[in-house]
Amino acid sequence: MDYALIEYLADFLTPERNDLFDRVLDLRTRYLTVVLEDIYQPQNASAVLRSVDCFGVQDVHVIENRNSFTVDREVAMGASKWLNVHKYTENESNSLDAIKHLKNQGYRIVATTPHEGDTDLEAFDLTKGKTALFFGTELTGISDVVKEEADEFLKIPMYGFTESFNISVSAAIILHYLTLKMRNEETINWQLSEEEKAAIKLAWIRRSLKRSELLEKRYHELQKKGI
């Protein structure tokens, strides 16, 4: 990681913007991540992205089997600009590819759906390790592949006649509860590493500065000259 490059580019930000980036990064996490499987309503998808950013989760994994993932900019309010969005679109088994990738990164696969042996949100044990929260389509929920491969099942207790929450509401409720619980649990190492913070900050700076590539070119020219 070229920390000198980050420092160089950060000088072109306002001090307030630079400080904001650092404050947000100190509260960012990859201990929790969100996985969206075949979401087809742009408003719902965009609302989830907005909640993910607001609750300080850095990564979203998007599975496209039958439906393309699109973002409604007015709903998302620019949230995708600050997130790492990973897409799985190349194979017939995109859901399985996402699961394998996340498991290799040390995540347990948690399907957010009622199921035999499921766990109520309030009883979910975050200390067991990094958690990938899977949310399925608006009509049919998560796929059978996810159900078969899931390590655990999580549900939100409900007390009315309606069987489920809207997906964006479900994501917001779960993220609010789990991020609060995570930050208050002293045994969980949920913060980003310094290298992760630097990589994300560099991406944010590049998205914030006009013609950042020209500034980087100038930086490398100065480096070659030993300036």
Q: Binding site residues for S-adenosyl-L-methionine, as ranges?
A: 112, 156
Q: Is 190:31 a contact under the CB 8 Å cutoff?
A: yes
Annotated binding site: 112, 156
Residue tagged 């930000």 (tokens): 13
What 3-state DSSP class applies to 83? coil
- Distance from C-alpha of 196 to C-alpha of 193, rounded to nearest angstrom: 5
Sheet holding 152-155, edge to edge: 84-88, 59-63, 32-37, 131-135, 108-112, 152-155, 119-120
Q: Rg of the chain's alpha carbons, rounded to an integer?
A: 19
